[in-house]
Amino acid sequence: MVRIPEGITLVVGLGLSGRAICRHLGRRGVPFMVADTRAAPPGLDDFRAAHPGVAVHLGPLTGLDLATVEEVVVSPGVDPGTPGLEALAGRTRAATGEPLVVGEMALFVREARAPIAAITGANAKSTVTTLVGEMAREAGVHVAVGGNLGTPALDLLDAAPDAELFVLELSSFQLETTPRLGAETAAFLNLSEDHLDRHGDMAGYRAAKLGIFRGARHAVVNAEDPMTWPDAPVPALDRFTTGAPAGDDWGIAGREGRDWLMHGTTPLMPAAEVRLPGRHNQANALAALAMGHRLGLPLAAMCAVLRCFPGLPHRGELVAEAGGVRWINDSKGTNVGATLAAIAGLGPTLEGRLILLAGGVGKGADFTPLAAPLARFGREAILFGEDAASLEAALVGQLPLTRADDLEAALQRAAAIAAPGDCVLLSPACASLDQFPGFAARGDAFRRWVTRHLAEEGA
């Protein structure tokens, strides 16, 4: 049994965030040591070179005596219930009364001196985070954007010491170890089945996400998804919807023959002028507008961003439009909820039909919710990967189905059947690790094939 010396902070996990935690503690002269349950975590040699003299424990955490540890800071990828940590649940630090086990965001909140705009959700949080950041920049605000997206939050403290606003994407893993975020504005966009291996069930997943509202002065929630609504009162709250807004909500309503983004009865901009395609992205735009409004950003600056922002790679990315066919890379659609949003958002906007490319590692998900919208909007679903059979069983009888060996074969089939007005959508509803290193590699493969195919066709 390895005893942690008194006054030492233990950092658990040597992933991207874990190393950011170590850099943060090192810059502030806080004595710490590191533990990782893996025998040989990637980047170990680089870590030791960067932090000479810092003790590293590899293997089960049950080999550590934590009786006198000062604080335990866990990386987001580390379950606080990991054997060796579970005995610390409910224990607090005598000096501050905070939980003894916290995550990176607890350290961030202690030092952040600018307002925080925080975004979570099962899907679309990267898009809304980036939109709010771009809106702030357009308005002349010195903004720092990161968290679960891009730069780790703790690195932002030193990278942007004069930031006037922090815009942070936060995962359920980060939020469950954050005692109090205290955001100026906090958005919970949507909730669908994901990460149940960590949180146990949807109630546990939702409870972790709701941590975004602890200490928040303003909440933005999805009017169409009550699971995003806070359980405890928040001083101010805005709701967004893809329907006509009720009261002072943010929504979409018809005026003079076309749809407008609205705040209550106030028209903001024509919905068709939002560059991001689909109704779901108009909902993302409304969430960003609600947050920006709370932050005092000028409407003109926010609408200017919405008119020009093309979207993030692999998240509803329009790769090409040729011969009347749109090719959209939504490889980040790694769960059913994300794919549902893409289908429901794009389907009503098409003159033709939707050709869905789906499959991969389904993580035990229920694919049946995809059946009804695909029956309504789909021309064909082309299925590949480890859980293609499960997708087929859920969709049979709703639209034509084709099984393909891999993504390239699926793309060849899509190109053969696509008609003008159609959209070929890669939104797999599955993780990619059966055939790709990650969703980005899958999306890159989609983009390369489409680009090469259209060049060969002379489109």
**How many separate domains does the chain show?**
3
Amino acid letter for position 399: L
Q: Cβ contacts of residue 201 below 8 Å, gap of 6+?
A: none
Q: What is the mean pLDDT of residues 382-387?
A: 98
Instruction: Give the pLDDT band (50/70/90) at residue 366.
Output: very high
Q: What is the mean pLDDT of residues 329-335?
A: 95
pLDDT tens-digit map of 180-236: 999 999 999 999 866 666 667 889 999 999 999 999 999 999 999 999 999 999 999
Give the global pTM. 0.89
CA dist 18 and 192 (Å) reads: 27
263 and 179 within one domain:
yes
Q: Which of 308, 327, 356 is the last residue of a domain?
A: 308
Instruction: Give the pLDDT band (50/70/90) at residue 386.
Output: very high
Average pLDDT of the chain, as a whole number: 95
321 and 215 within one domain:
no
223 and 123 within one domain:
yes
CA dist 446 and 459 (Å) reads: 17
Give residue 201's pLDDT. Answer: 87
CA dist 106 and 125 (Å) reads: 20
163 and 66 within one domain:
no
Give residue 172's pLDDT. Answer: 95
Percent of the chain with pLDDT over 90: 91
Instruction: Give the pLDDT band (50/70/90) at residue 1.
Output: confident
324 and 304 within one domain:
no
Please, where are the H alpha helices in 354-406? 371-377, 388-395
Classify the phi-psi angles of 359: left when phi > 0, otherwise alpha if psi is within -120 to 50, otherwise beta. left
304 and 338 within one domain:
no
392 pLDDT exceeds 80?
Answer: yes
* CATH number of the domain where residue 63 is located: 3.40.50.720
Q: Which of 87, 104, 121 is the last residue of a domain?
A: 104
User: Which residues are known to be catalytic?
Assistant: 125, 148, 195
Give residue 95's pLDDT. Answer: 79
pLDDT tens-digit map of 81-130: 999 999 898 899 987 899 999 999 999 999 999 999 999 998 899 999 99
124 and 61 within one domain:
no
Amino acid letter for position 97: G
Identify the domain containing residue 98 by its residue range: 2-104
* CATH number of the domain where residue 392 is located: 3.90.190.20
Q: Which of 308, 339, 364 is the last residue of a domain?
A: 308
Residue 216 is encoded by which pair of tokens? 């928040």
163 and 27 within one domain:
no
459 pLDDT exceeds 80?
Answer: no
354 and 276 within one domain:
no
395 and 336 within one domain:
yes
409 pLDDT exceeds 80?
Answer: yes
Residue by residue, DSSP assigns 267-307 as EEEEGGG-SS-SHHHHHHHHHHHHHHHHTT--HHHHHHHHH
Residue by residue, DSSP assigns 231-275 as SS--S-EEEE-SSPPPTT-EEEEEETTEEEEEETTEEEEEGGG-S
Instruction: Give the pLDDT band (50/70/90) at residue 310.
Output: confident
User: Which residue is listed with tokens 């202690």?
Assistant: 110
Q: What is the mean pLDDT of residues 341-368?
A: 95
326 and 287 within one domain:
no
> String of b and e for 166-179 (b: at least 16 CB within 10 Å)?
bbbbbbbbbbbbbb
132 and 260 within one domain:
yes
